[in-house]
Amino acid sequence: MERRDSQESTTLTKREFLRGFASVSGLSAVMAALDAWDMSIASAATAPPVLDGRADGTRVLILGAGIAGLTTAYELTERGYDCRIIEARSFAGGRCQTARNGFRLEEVGGESQECEFDEGQWFNTAAWRIPAHHKSLFHYCREFGIPMQTLISSNESTYLRYENIEGPLVGRRVRRREVMMDMRGYTSELLAKLAHQGALDGELTADDREQLIEYLVAEGYLDPIDLAYRGTTERGWAVDFAGPLEPGQPSEALALRELLQSGLGNTFRAVSSFERPYTMLQPVGGMDRIAAAFEERVGHLVTYNAEVRELRQNGQEVQVHYRDVPSGDLVTATGDYCVTTIPLAIMRDIPNDLSDRCKAAIGAATPSQVGKLALQMNRRFWEEDDAIFGGSSQTDLSGGSVIYPSHGFLGRKGIVQGYYVFGDTSDTVGAMGLAQRTERGLANGEKLHPGQFRSHYDGKSISVDWQRVPHSLGGWESWSDEARREHFPVLLEPQGRVYFAGAYLSYLTGWQAGAIESAWYQVERLHANAASV
Amino acid sequence: MERRDSQESTTLTKREFLRGFASVSGLSAVMAALDAWDMSIASAATAPPVLDGRADGTRVLILGAGIAGLTTAYELTERGYDCRIIEARSFAGGRCQTARNGFRLEEVGGESQECEFDEGQWFNTAAWRIPAHHKSLFHYCREFGIPMQTLISSNESTYLRYENIEGPLVGRRVRRREVMMDMRGYTSELLAKLAHQGALDGELTADDREQLIEYLVAEGYLDPIDLAYRGTTERGWAVDFAGPLEPGQPSEALALRELLQSGLGNTFRAVSSFERPYTMLQPVGGMDRIAAAFEERVGHLVTYNAEVRELRQNGQEVQVHYRDVPSGDLVTATGDYCVTTIPLAIMRDIPNDLSDRCKAAIGAATPSQVGKLALQMNRRFWEEDDAIFGGSSQTDLSGGSVIYPSHGFLGRKGIVQGYYVFGDTSDTVGAMGLAQRTERGLANGEKLHPGQFRSHYDGKSISVDWQRVPHSLGGWESWSDEARREHFPVLLEPQGRVYFAGAYLSYLTGWQAGAIESAWYQVERLHANAASV
């Protein structure tokens, strides 16, 4: 799972937010908010640390069999450590998790769901798309030979349909491609004409001006004679051709005025997000193929259904008291070291003897509120009727995106994501039961695919509200810049014999690569200490 | 194969062409040329014609086992026709063709090649990417259950490196994302500032102006206070972060002046091409999976290695004289009807008794010149070192694109396309031997991936120059608008008992969907006549 929704699905909300924000805070606050939200980042890490020597028999208790815990166990075992993983769930992977037939999902205070999707259908409940620069995750995908495929994050062919806007585009379904083309066409025209009239002659040489106009003519499909934008077949056709003698009908551009009134153009950026570009990657068959590959190698080290209840240490060893869920017994495990990858939202309630500074750090991260709904459709109407393969369509309902699968193309059935909610909306939706959540998704999807979305839903859905999921209590942890500066140094240092690891302890908060790189960081430090003992 | 190279690979050449063109023809000719080149088109056809009644035992000779011939045989057989396909090659599919280990490729007057790629590696020598709106082709992919995957046509992460440009960017490798972001950032800034200064007050209301500025701030990542573009992390990072305490270094925007001088921005358009968008589709395992699926169903009707030498008809039947290549014998096949899908460049030299108008039509299409080179690399350095998954990088060598595979991600080896040449360049390159063609691709690729491209090439290449391929003599046929108007009606009418079909007889010249829809068109007409006999 990554830190936030796709750029295109949050932007109108963001614009509205910023507009309100600007009215009370002035433009510089808007700028600061934009900066924080649009920060993309890449890591230099490509391979696990090279560890000198071995530490045969050194016992390490690893708390949590998510990606950070599995990475820790895999790397330490290679160097001779005697690793044991204590995992609260009945399976490995944590939020690297895929719902398919038989998958059970429980929520605190919510109903229990069992996934009834058809054989071969699946949905990634949390982590779902991987950017090209997450080299640390790819390290393991390569090492384990996990087949990967494209995840189409954005697709110009998808729809926008907004109701809470102004002008003639209210409630009208348009393709992103149309709006994007027309906005760039018109703005190219406006600038090209002004440049041609000399409005930029103070800033540009005559050569530069001509080069600029040439660029704008190409970018905006302008008429090179009068520099006007009059549409282009690249925005799509009004009527497709109907045979070798019936050439079809090009589409007409939307009017600039109605586009500006609608604000729909503000859902775009000059380039796709660096962190969530047009195309990303996913494992073939579900994100949990990554967890499964780790499990194949270190699964024998995991004690499942074991809820950590207390964490203690002395100068010699670490003691972890856990509840064996099937029996209800309280069991104690001991190790020379401990690496805890338990989410901080859980960790803060586990009795321990960590320092006050450490406890403060644990309490300072904010668990994110995020929820998803997956709907099984009995026909891939978005492919067959709308020529949409992957990407997402969007209404202005908060979190009201419809995300299409990037796999199983041209098959019969398919799983569509019916919403992707964050923050307060996630809270509100999470308070609903599955039936009500499903209805929210169907009603919204029907606006994007009228006459199709509801009628092709075949009654099988699954939804997750991550702040209600036991052993997670949040989608991921986020930090203010200030909290990060204050608390990272504490959590990165060993607390006696206890080390912290997890995506929250990296710049890639909420990404699997962050979990891996955090594990690498601590494995290197633990080994340096264990070797010197 | 489609009609032309990817937008981004031809554009600088096109710009230079247009610049020259403009100097002799004026701007309106430039516009006309742009229109013709950038015309995208979509078809309404989704399913084969519904044919009433049967025509059991009616004998149809189908010339050519490419997609048009296979479609014809498949549909007519369903209605009881007794079909027979005469195919010059030893395999079905025509230009729906994939090179893999053992594949043999002959060129007229050229050396014979045998593909030595590793097991599991493949390269589509002709047709290679399918747009989302080619519903007729998808009809068969669904019917035959052919697994499909994403083909990444364009990728913002790929490189541009041009030498024949001006200014500081000469010979400098940049990511498309950087240039695209900076050009849109600066042009957004220029227009936002002019709008803010009132330069558009004659055309826009105050509300519209503010909406426009808001759009430009979002689109161009402008500072909302002073409307300046100062770069953004979305264009990429100068230094990636190196751990949880070392946050990395954002990149700096290129200067507007040097961007304009270079003309690199002119390689972009507001949206991806409607016909060749960012993401397209391909069959898993190679384009020939489509041919293979047809062959499974109608392959028993094909006579392979049979070169048509003469086509005759009388009032009662059609006679096709063909050379059986293995024996050298001349053999005669007879049918009640004939559907010829033989490329017009071949057809024009086959003796026949067609009308003069028909012969003129056959001679009027222009076979396209196109060539490709595929190189096997022993490491996927573009993925591992450059975080590039699919798409193409580009130098300003004509046809000098490097196209990365959209499949086999994170594997060990991979096939990279080393050039994609058209027109005169294709002629020049086609005159070279394989070794020289390979060297051209390696030298060009080395500019985009210095120190990598040549050293990771593992000595296995295959190249095709379509105008030299026997039984094809061109990549596809193209028409001037005038020639199409004049000759389509002739070729669409039955010539006695002979029908013409092929992608050249559709608006989707050079696309498999065009071949299918042309076959559907003629199957319907043939059946109407056969039923009335």
**Of B416, B471, B520, B450, residue with least CA distance to B74:** B520
Q: Could you tell me if B157 lies within 8 Å of chain A, comparing CB atoms?
A: yes
User: Which A positions 15-44 lie with beta carbon below 8 A of chain B?
Assistant: 15, 19, 22, 27-28, 30-31, 34, 38-44
Cβ of A215 within 8 Å of Cβ of B22? The answer is no
Residue type, A440: R
For residue B187, what are the CA distances in angstroms to A187, A223, A274, B157?
9, 18, 20, 21
> What one-character-per-residue DSSP string does A191-257 give?
HHHHHHTTTTTTTS-HHHHHHHHHHHHHHHT--TTT------GGG-EEE-B-STT---EE--PPPHH
Cβ of B274 within 8 Å of Cβ of A235? The answer is yes
Q: Could you tell me if A224 lies within 8 Å of chain B, comparing CB atoms?
A: yes
Residue type, B523: V
Quick: pLDDT tens for A216-272. 999 999 999 999 999 999 999 998 888 888 888 899 999 999 999 999 999 899 999
Considering only CB atoms, A234 lies closest to which of B148, B269, B278, namely B269
Q: Tell me which residue has tokens 């700096």.
A: B252
Q: What is the pLDDT of residue B43?
A: 79
Cβ of A132 within 8 Å of Cβ of B260? The answer is no
Task: State mean pLDDT over A132-155.
Answer: 97
Number of residues in chain B: 533
According to DSSP, residue B478 is labeled E
Q: Could you tell me if A166 lies within 8 Å of chain B, comparing CB atoms?
A: no
Tokens of A90: 């009945």
For residues B377 and B373, give the distance between their C-alpha atoms in angstroms, rounded to a whole number. 13
Q: Tell me which residue has tokens 């109903």.
A: A111
Q: Tell me which residue has tokens 């307060």.
A: A424
The per-residue pLDDT string of chain B (533 residues; one tens digit each, 9 = 90 and over) reads 443 333 333 333 343 444 443 333 333 333 333 333 334 567 778 899 999 988 999 999 999 999 999 999 999 999 999 999 999 999 999 999 999 999 999 999 878 999 999 999 999 999 999 999 999 999 999 999 999 999 999 999 999 999 999 999 999 999 999 999 999 999 999 999 999 999 999 999 999 999 999 999 999 999 999 999 999 999 999 988 888 888 888 999 999 999 999 999 998 999 999 989 999 999 999 999 999 999 999 999 999 999 999 999 999 999 999 999 999 999 999 999 999 999 999 999 999 999 999 999 999 999 999 999 999 999 999 999 999 999 999 999 999 999 999 999 999 999 999 999 999 999 999 999 999 999 999 999 999 999 999 999 999 999 999 999 999 999 999 898 899 999 999 999 999 999 999 999 999 999 999 999 999 999 999 999 997 65
> What one-character-per-residue DSSP string does A85-128 give?
EE-SSSSSBTTS-EEETT-EE--TTS--EE--PPTT-EEESS--
B283 contacts in chain A (CB < 8 Å): none
**Of A215, A17, A38, residue with least CA distance to B222:** A38
Task: State mean pLDDT over A321-350.
Answer: 98
Nearest CA in chain A to B200: A190
Q: Are B131 and B276 in contact (CB under 8 A)?
A: yes
Tokens of A341: 């990858």
Q: Which residues have a Cβ under 8 Å from the Cβ of B37 and sit 6 or more positions away? A: B4, B14
A517 or B111: which leads in pLDDT: A517
**Of A297, A283, A276, A277, residue with least CA distance to A97:** A283
For residues A232 and B35, give the distance between their C-alpha atoms in angstroms, rounded to a whole number. 9
For residues A505 and B304, give the distance between their C-alpha atoms in angstroms, rounded to a whole number. 64
For residues B44 and B22, give the distance between their C-alpha atoms in angstroms, rounded to a whole number. 36
User: Which A positions 380-399 lie with beta carbon below 8 A of chain B?
Assistant: 383-384, 387-390
Quick: pLDDT tens for A32-55. 333 333 345 677 788 999 999 889
Disruptive mutation site among A239, A410, A517 for chain B (greatest number of B CBs within 10 Å): A410
**Of B287, B320, B285, residue with least CA distance to B306:** B320
Q: What is the pLDDT of residue A248?
A: 84
Delineate the domains of chain A, giving CATH numbers in brackets. 59-96+287-365+479-532 (3.50.50.60), 100-106+110-160+279-286+368-468 (3.90.660.10), 161-267 (1.20.1440.240)
Quick: pLDDT tens for A439-477. 999 999 999 999 999 999 999 999 999 999 999 999 999
For residues A35 and A37, give the distance between their C-alpha atoms in angstroms, rounded to a whole number. 6
Cβ of A183 within 8 Å of Cβ of B41? The answer is no
Cβ of A184 within 8 Å of Cβ of B270? The answer is yes
**Of B524, B516, B522, residue with least CA distance to B499:** B522
Quick: pLDDT tens for A407-428. 999 999 999 999 999 999 999 9
**Of B488, B490, B493, B485, residue with least CA distance to B503:** B488
B257 contacts in chain A (CB < 8 Å): 208
Q: What is the pLDDT of residue B10?
A: 36
Q: What is the pLDDT of residue B533?
A: 56
For residues B506 and A394, give the distance between their C-alpha atoms in angstroms, rounded to a whole number. 35
The dihedral sign for the CA sequence B378, B384, B385, B387: positive
Tell me: pLDDT of A312 over 90: yes
Nearest CA in chain B to A18: B214
Share of chain A above pLDDT 70, in %: 92
Residue type, B240: D
pLDDT band at A285; cut points 50, 70, 90: very high
> What one-character-per-residue DSSP string does B292-342 give?
HHHHHHHGGGEE-SEEEEEEEE-SS-EEEEEEETTT--EEEEEESEEEE--
For residues B146 and B142, give the distance between their C-alpha atoms in angstroms, rounded to a whole number. 7
Q: Are A297 and A458 in contact (CB under 8 A)?
A: no
For residues B386 and A147, give the distance between their C-alpha atoms in angstroms, rounded to a whole number. 20
Integer-rounded Cα radius of gyration of chain A: 26
Helix (H, G, I), strand (E, B) or coil at A67: helix
Tokens of A247: 């050439």
Tokens of A387: 């020529």
Quick: pLDDT tens for A357-409. 999 999 999 999 999 999 999 999 999 999 999 999 999 999 999 999 999 99
Cβ of A181 within 8 Å of Cβ of B270? The answer is yes
Buried b / exposed e over A249-260, threshold 16 CB at 10 Å, is ebbebbebbbbb
Angstroms from A327 CA to nearest CA on chain B: 40
User: Which B positions 267-326 lie with beta carbon below 8 A of chain A?
Assistant: 268-274, 277-279, 281
For residues A324 and B272, give the distance between their C-alpha atoms in angstroms, rounded to a whole number. 56
Q: Could you tell me if B486 lies within 8 Å of chain A, comparing CB atoms?
A: no
For residues B224 and A486, give the distance between their C-alpha atoms in angstroms, rounded to a whole number. 30
Tell me: pLDDT of A194 over 60: yes
pLDDT band at A3; cut points 50, 70, 90: very low
Tokens of B299: 């392959």
For residues B88 and B95, give the distance between their C-alpha atoms in angstroms, rounded to a whole number. 13
For residues B17 and A214, give the distance between their C-alpha atoms in angstroms, rounded to a whole number. 13
> What one-character-per-residue DSSP string does B370-405 give?
EEEEEEEESS-HHHHTT---SEEEEESSTT-EEEE-
- Please work out, in degrees rounded to the nearest 5, the angle formed at the alpha carbon of residue B450 by the alpha carbons of B445 and B451: 115
Disruptive mutation site among A142, A230, A279, A379 for chain B (greatest number of B CBs within 10 Å): A279
Q: What is the pLDDT of residue B403?
A: 98
Tokens of B378: 């022993």
Q: Could you tell me if B177 lies within 8 Å of chain A, comparing CB atoms?
A: yes
Q: What is the pLDDT of residue A246?
A: 82
Relative to beta strand A159-161, strand A392-395 is parallel
**Of B396, B476, B440, B477, residue with least CA distance to B10:** B396
For residues B195 and A199, give the distance between their C-alpha atoms in angstroms, rounded to a whole number. 11
Q: What is the pLDDT of residue B41?
A: 67
pLDDT band at A306; cut points 50, 70, 90: very high
Q: Are A528 and A150 in contact (CB under 8 A)?
A: no
Q: Which residues have a Cβ under 8 Å from the Cβ of A163 and sit 6 or more positions away? A: A170, A171, A395, A396
For residue A502, what are the CA distances in angstroms to A321, A339, A515, A521?
21, 10, 4, 10
pLDDT band at A109; cut points 50, 70, 90: confident
The verdict on ipTM greater than 0.90 is: yes
For residues B468 and A199, give the distance between their C-alpha atoms in angstroms, rounded to a whole number. 54
For residue B1, what are the CA distances in angstroms to A331, A332, B128?
65, 66, 6
Tokens of B181: 């972001």
